[in-house]
Amino acid sequence: MNSFKKATQSLIFYLFLCPTYGTESAGGLSFLNIPASSLSTSLGNTITSDMGSPSAMLQNPANIWQYPRWSFIFNYKSQNSGLGSNYMNTFIGYRRKQLSICTGFISYGVSKIEQYDEEAHFVNYFDFLNYAIPVGISLKTSHFLWGIGANYIGQRFTKMDYDKESFLGFDVGVSVIELLSKYDQVDITVSYVNKMIYSVNEKNFVSTAFGNSIFGCKVEIYNWLAIHTDFVFNSGTEIKNMRLGGQAYWRVKNVKLALNAGYNKVPIGSPNGINYTEYLKYSGKKSLGGFIEFPIPRANNASVQFAFSYELHPIFNNARYFSISFSI
């Protein structure tokens, strides 16, 4: 029994605190870093931006814990960049007492990519597809939310001699909520997650853009203003990033309105002589958005939320997100 306890403690320590090392260069599977909802987009994709929603699965599985019995969300992204890219996801969450479970599906693709031979002659168009099937569980104990998540991830090219690649993702996270529960004017939430990716083809852990550790917090003031911030540490690079989000919200009778603004992402320091201005130009994304939430008539404790966000970027311009979610 003691040896089993020590092994369990060692595993938890590894999953929470140890970085992931591997052979794949950082940057792969970056589609998993696309914000999973309009709300998350407009708040800089910060780790606490989607708390209480099943779409929080991609940020921290601990944060999928919800008060409603059932939650469902669908998100679609349109982007007029000429790349032919498309993104959509759907998540569903269920709570029973102090336990919440979640699953979903994520699809990302780029169509009509031009293919040329060695002599620069046009050969054909091909498509690229990424998809993921995440599952997660969150347990609430007092002021703590404990979460474990897993993702099956696939990527492939069409009309090319390219083998399909498969990955398994593992997420372990914790959030501490209502840190200042005795105060009516200020509330603080702290959240941490560690993410790892395992290559089924290569049979080893790999370093990807999604394999990182994130620490963040949410500060809610006067019950109408919330500030979100987090720090992202990617094991594949020396670059560390900070993300920011702000939200102001109001209630008009039973209707809730919110306006959001975010920035994803700001590098911390200048590792390896990185050009700070160029990094912000290609990696920094400003966003604006909001949502309206109202109860569903003749449905006890049920509500629906419509959210919209607009992402400002000099290269991938005109990115718009639309989300609709139901809670029962």
For residue 240, the cross-strand partners are 233, 268
Q: Residue 116 and residue 97: Cα distance in Å, rounded?
A: 57
Q: Residue 1 and residue 87: Cα distance in Å, rounded?
A: 47
What is the structure's pLDDT at 144? Answer: 96
CA-based end-to-end distance of the chain: 42
In a domain, 10, yes or no: no
In a domain, 122, yes or no: yes
Q: What CATH number should be reported for the domain holding residue 166?
A: 2.40.160
In a domain, 41, yes or no: yes
In a domain, 327, yes or no: no
Count the domains in the chain. Answer: 1
Whose CA is closest to 313, among 99, 10, 35? Answer: 35
What is the structure's pLDDT at 272? Answer: 65
In a domain, 45, yes or no: yes
Q: Are the C-beta atoms of 151 and 169 separated by less than 8 Å?
A: yes
Residue 181 lies in domain: 16-246+264-280
Chain centroid, CA 301 distance in Å: 27
In a domain, 101, yes or no: yes
Single pTM value for the model: 0.87
What single letter denotes the amino acid at residue 43? L
What is the structure's pLDDT at 91? Answer: 97
What is the structure's pLDDT at 110? Answer: 81
Q: Is 210 helix (H, G, I), strand (E, B) or coil?
A: coil
In a domain, 257, yes or no: no
In a domain, 310, yes or no: no
Q: What is the pLDDT along the chain (328 residues), one digit of tens a residue?
A: 455 444 444 445 545 555 444 444 445 788 898 899 999 999 999 999 999 999 999 999 999 999 899 999 999 887 655 556 788 999 999 999 999 999 999 999 887 777 777 777 777 777 888 999 999 999 999 999 999 999 999 988 776 667 788 999 999 999 999 998 777 789 999 999 999 999 998 898 888 888 889 999 999 998 899 999 999 988 667 778 899 999 999 999 899 999 999 998 888 866 666 777 777 777 788 999 999 999 998 788 899 999 999 988 766 666 888 999 999 8
